[in-house]
Amino acid sequence: MKRWSPQAHLQFMTTGRWPEDDPPAPPALRAGLMRISAPHYVAGLVVRNFRVSEAAPIVKYMRGWHPEQVHRYCKSKGWSVEEIPDR
C-alpha cells in the first residue's frame, strides 16, 4: 500500500480528492466494526465517520485513528483486520 504525503492527506481532507499523481485511497470504512486478530488476542473497534470511536481496552490507543491507519499499523505488526460495514 502506498504511503501518501502529508500534503496529499491535507488536499484530501480539504477537497475530498486525492492529487492526480497519487492513486485513489482504498475505500475506507465510514461506519461499522473492525476486528483485529493478533496471535495473543482478538479485539474490536467501532468506526463512525471514518474514525475509530470506540476500542477494546487492549487497543484503546487507536481511538481517533482513520481505518486506513489501523490497517497499516496492523499489517506492520503481522495482525489481520476484518471490516464489518454497517448496513
Which cell numbers in the block locate residue 46? 467501532
pLDDT at position 20 is: 64
pLDDT at position 3 is: 65
With a cut of 80, say whether residue 9 has pLDDT above it.
no
- Cα 51–chain centre separation: 7
With a cut of 80, say whether residue 19 has pLDDT above it.
no
Q: Over the stretch 36-80, which tens digit does the pLDDT of each residue have?
A: 999 999 999 999 988 999 999 999 999 999 999 999 999 999 999
- Give the CA distances from residue 63 to residues 23, 44, 46, 52, in Å, rounded to whole numbers and listed in that order: 26, 11, 9, 5
- The domain spans of the chain are 28-85
Angle, CA 87 vertex, CA 2 and CA 71 arms, to 5°: 20
